[in-house]
Amino acid sequence: MIADPVTGDVSLYHRVNLETGMYRGQTNERPQRSLIMKIGVDAMGGDFAPLEAVKGASSAARVHPHYQLVLFGNKEVILSVCNEEGVDANLFSIVDCPTEIEMGEHPVRAFSAKQDSSIARGFQYLAQGQIDAFLSAGNTGAMLVGSLMTVKAIPGIDRPCLTAAIPP
């Protein structure tokens, strides 16, 4: 459990007190909604993208119906992969992003120059509260830059964290 440093409220859901709508001492201006978590996925990031991202999103949507998945990437390419793989594209929503940040690009320059990329648009949606989480297997530096430039750091936290699945 985490106590809000200003109000002392305790919450387990994104540090937002669901009764008061307080987050870091400020009122949550988002309208009340269900507890379905919206997770954004950079479909264009990582090896074998968007194929593996689409297959993973399809599997996750079936196993976890309480999550709503939002794929960020080239909509035409994502729909083509869905068609080729027999994946129901209605399992998730797709945000069309015409450009992508490649693995070898300089993170700050690429993130600043490509505001219509899947990573930049994902962070824009996250900052606006349209999604609750955003993940990518793409350019790690661009993800770190995006988190600091768009979502901003929590006071007292110097850097964003990286996560990894560790088998048992």
160 inside domain: no
The model's pTM: 0.77
Query: By the 8 A CB rule, do 134 and 78 touch?
Result: no
The domain of 18 spans 1-32
Query: What CATH number does residue 39 fall under?
Result: 3.40.718.10
CA distance between the termini of the chain? 24
Is the domain of 49 the same as that of 100? Answer: yes
Least confident stretch, 77-86, 135-144, 151-160: 151-160
Tokens 């219509």 belong to residue: 116
Q: Is the pLDDT of residue 160 over 90?
A: no
Mean pLDDT for all residues in the chain = 85
Is the domain of 134 the same as that of 56? Answer: yes
Q: Tell me what the mean pLDDT of segment 9-15 comes to.
A: 48
64 inside domain: yes
Eight-state DSSP code of residue 1: -
List, for residues 84-104, the tens digit of each pLDDT value. Answer: 999 999 999 999 999 999 999
Query: By the 8 A CB rule, do 108 and 139 touch?
Result: no
163 inside domain: no
Tokens 């954004």 belong to residue: 40
Is the domain of 24 the same as that of 50? Answer: no
Is the domain of 11 the same as that of 87? Answer: no
Is the domain of 27 the same as that of 76? Answer: no
Is the domain of 13 the same as that of 47? Answer: no
Is the domain of 69 the same as that of 127? Answer: yes
* Domains in the chain, number: 2
Q: Dihedral of CA 92/93/98/102: which sign?
A: negative
Is the domain of 68 the same as that of 121? Answer: yes
108 inside domain: yes
